[in-house]
Structure 1
């Protein structure tokens, strides 16, 4: 007679199976968040399972998940009182919440800053006498420090959207004259005659500017450390192959390699800075960009990893195979258009699965917090994990908040990805506690029963329609 053991798994109580293993399962739908789920432990009678998790097939090590600090996010939080603001930060960084292990921050302005700025706007200040991060002490640094209170080991990395304009060939924060749509919404007011071509380098490649820019990075890291924030990694340019309405700077791979290998890395060595340098953020789908950069031996030796975002993830299957010695990061989750609905979760889930199945060790969300409009200074409404209504003070945790929680809450640095027999809609990990974590999605309109073999244990459960679930056993 076959013996089934039924376990009820909730957030507050977990019972032991016949194998004396703890099992937990939580599920999220568009209407029910983080709900405990029933799991059956079946007798392992040799019948074929639907899906196998190979607990002895360890893939890449996981460095963790994270989100991005931006000025407009911190501004949205200011309409809340200290207690409510603290609850939002706990939801993002405390162990009971998402428990993000990474944080990204812009080097000076981004598209979610209040306005254009750099740390040294004095023309031809090659020695950086006027370098100053004073503005960040009122916006980005307090935001980061609130996170550090909850997660002191939070790993921070940074990238610029643009160099100071006097280092650029068109002396403007942007490179192309346009807005975010065909109507010209959020136009950057750049004279069209000063626009550049996308596959050229927007940086002025004269030696003096290259030296000054390397010093700019060095001073940034040193000044942030003086303010109690350690930047452990930098990528020299956000989206090296795009000319949006907001701050940007395109780089040919050969030119970026010259800057990194012959100027940035030597400057860090001179100043005894141990901050890692990564190639990124690469938003070019053709792997030839990475290949061209790595042909420069100095640049190849200088970097520790490669960061990709948006269409750059299309190059992952090739580059992580050709260059296995580097670590890989997905640096910016696609931001959507402010819809903040289940379609956003589904799109992001597919990106997470693709990226981890092709070698990334870390995955970054874009804006963690925005106001009720979600709009940048260029009037593009984007998604976020948390929405704060400035008028009503209502705080809304979006579907993608729960997506990131289903992952990062259980999978922390030191985890390893596991091989699964059906990798298209499931991820599995041996987490930092030695437990097996399975994250799976039901994309259909009907409930779906799953029969899962994890090592020597057979489990069965039912997934609600359009649901994301995490199962933890061990």
Structure 2
């Protein structure tokens, strides 16, 4: 069997170095093995992507034509990152230029005066440009807050709850938002009910109990979607950190009505690994998707911080996919060199950042970490069973729809480590530098 080995050594600044790999007959010893079992597959993978925020669109609009083309090709072409998923806020979020809503007052709501001028200025042009590169791009929409007048605290920021008397109106606003994007040829295939529904933030936020979130989803939003011919729209709940997944899921799916109306749970990484919760839910709720919908790292400087961020991405992605994750959506696709703009000063790093002074794009280590998955694992792939001799090596494998095997192996240790990749009676000997990662792709013998 032959295939490709794509390796990255971040300490030596060697990225996506491709060589040919050739499997040999297996050695008789059973040491240093990573074994893969392609006939034993687990969850289906929907794809990989990032988030279209107003900040990303604003920075994109400021770039030269050459940088715009480079950005779009690098993210969305099948020869590069091959992004197939995206997420965007319904109305404003912290990575917007300011608060804004589709409807700003009860009087405008009664008159049907909805405005999507901010979407048309900074979001829709970027998303349309991305879909020209990848027409199959599938998008998820997520609210950070309803309009302030619909909430108990009368503002978009600082938590508060959606008033019961506005459940129907808020569902209508969300559907009108979807219709606006559809008019521009943009394919939105899924929704989450609320970003981080138990977090009070200085920026746009809104609180729901699990009973409130599921009631809004199943009794108001789902019927509204069906009324407008959007029966296939997927609905996700939670959209928050992994540590709260099990309690939310158990309460949500105690009702059969909720089970029929909700397609999955979305989650973030900000409170740590909690891979066992994903694994448990994947076993207990095999018909529900578990989508990673947001993760980012702080805006820091220096090689040490970059290596920490490198580890965060690789460790979390490998752990999530091993545990049952069905797709990966990073946070901002693009920011400026300071990690913004952000109307609350809540700056962070993006995989790609634009240096306006030099009219150039800067690629952070997170870009390469994601690329070791997104460039080689196709939508429709399945996670394959794999086992490793050493807990200090991290690995996860996939089988693409055409039968191609993909294995990502990461060495988080500072020293070099070796292993033997084995499928059946064939093996390949791999040596990884400290903090290095490799993606191996190959077809079974005879294909």
TM over 0.5: yes
Alignment coverage as a number of residue pairs:
429
Who is 2:297 aligned against? 335
Who is 1:320 aligned against? 282
Residue 382 of structure 1: how far off its partner (Å): 0.6
Who is 2:375 aligned against? 409
List 4+ stretches of structure 1 deviating above 4 A: 37-40, 124-128
Who is 1:234 aligned against? 191
CA distance in 2 between partners of 1:353 and 1:321 (Å): 18
1:107 to 1:407, Cα distance in 2 relative to 1, 3 A: same
CA distance in 2 between partners of 1:411 and 1:128 (Å): 48
Matches of residues 167-186 of structure 1 in structure 2 within 5 Å?
167-175=150-158
1:24 to 1:420, Cα distance in 2 relative to 1, 3 A: same
Post-superposition Cα deviations, 1:276-307, rounded to whole Å, max 9, x if no partner, equal 22223133623212222223433321111211
Q: 1:394 aligns with which of 338, 360, 379?
A: 360
Q: Contact 2:373–2:408 (CA<8 Å) still a contact in 1?
A: yes
Who is 1:216 aligned against? 173
CA distance in 2 between partners of 1:335 and 1:211 (Å): 36
CA distance in 1 between partners of 2:236 and 2:324 (Å): 16
Does 1:279 find its partner at 2:247? no
Consecutive unaligned residues of structure 1, counting only runs of 5 or more, are 1-18, 177-195, 197-201
CA distance in 2 between partners of 1:381 and 1:417 (Å): 34
Does 1:91 find its partner at 2:79? no
CA distance in 2 between partners of 1:290 and 1:453 (Å): 37
Q: Contact 1:40–1:460 (CA<8 Å) still a contact in 2?
A: no
Who is 2:386 aligned against? 420
Who is 2:422 aligned against? 453
**Structure 2-normalised TM-score?**
0.91
Matches of residues 73-112 of structure 1 in structure 2 within 5 Å?
73-112=56-95
3-state DSSP of counterpart to 2:106: coil
Does 1:347 find its partner at 2:312? yes
Does 1:438 find its partner at 2:400? no
Post-superposition Cα deviations, 1:229-250, rounded to whole Å, max 9, x if no partner, equal 1211111101111111110001
Does 1:385 find its partner at 2:351? yes
Higher relative strand content: 2
Residue 360 of structure 1: how far off its partner (Å): 1.1
Mean CA deviation greater in 155-164 or 332-341? 332-341
3-state DSSP of counterpart to 2:135: coil
Q: Contact 2:7–2:436 (CA<8 Å) still a contact in 1?
A: no
3-state DSSP of counterpart to 1:228: coil
Matches of residues 94-243 of structure 1 in structure 2 within 5 Å?
94-123=77-106, 125-127=108-110, 129-175=112-158, 202-206=161-165, 209-243=166-200
CA distance in 2 between partners of 1:247 and 1:378 (Å): 10
CA distance in 1 between partners of 2:4 and 2:299 (Å): 38
1:416 to 1:343, Cα distance in 2 relative to 1, 3 A: same
3-state DSSP of counterpart to 2:221: helix
Rg larger for: 1
CA distance in 1 between partners of 2:107 and 2:281 (Å): 38
3-state DSSP of counterpart to 2:407: strand
3-state DSSP of counterpart to 2:296: coil
CA distance in 2 between partners of 1:255 and 1:155 (Å): 27
CA distance in 2 between partners of 1:458 and 1:235 (Å): 43
CA distance in 1 between partners of 2:111 and 2:431 (Å): 61
1:221 to 1:352, Cα distance in 2 relative to 1, 3 A: same
Who is 2:439 aligned against? 470
CA distance in 1 between partners of 2:83 and 2:238 (Å): 21
Higher relative helix content: 2
CA distance in 2 between partners of 1:42 and 1:228 (Å): 50
CA distance in 2 between partners of 1:240 and 1:360 (Å): 20
Q: 1:268 aligns with which of 225, 244, 248?
A: 225
Q: Contact 1:91–1:98 (CA<8 Å) still a contact in 2?
A: yes
Residue 321 of structure 1: how far off its partner (Å): 2.5
1:174 to 1:212, Cα distance in 2 relative to 1, 3 A: same
Q: Contact 2:3–2:22 (CA<8 Å) still a contact in 1?
A: no
Residue 308 of structure 1: how far off its partner (Å): 1.2
Q: Contact 1:262–1:299 (CA<8 Å) still a contact in 2?
A: no
Mean CA deviation greater in 268-277 or 247-256? 268-277
1:271 to 1:166, Cα distance in 2 relative to 1, 3 A: same
Who is 1:182 aligned against? none
1:46 to 1:429, Cα distance in 2 relative to 1, 3 A: same
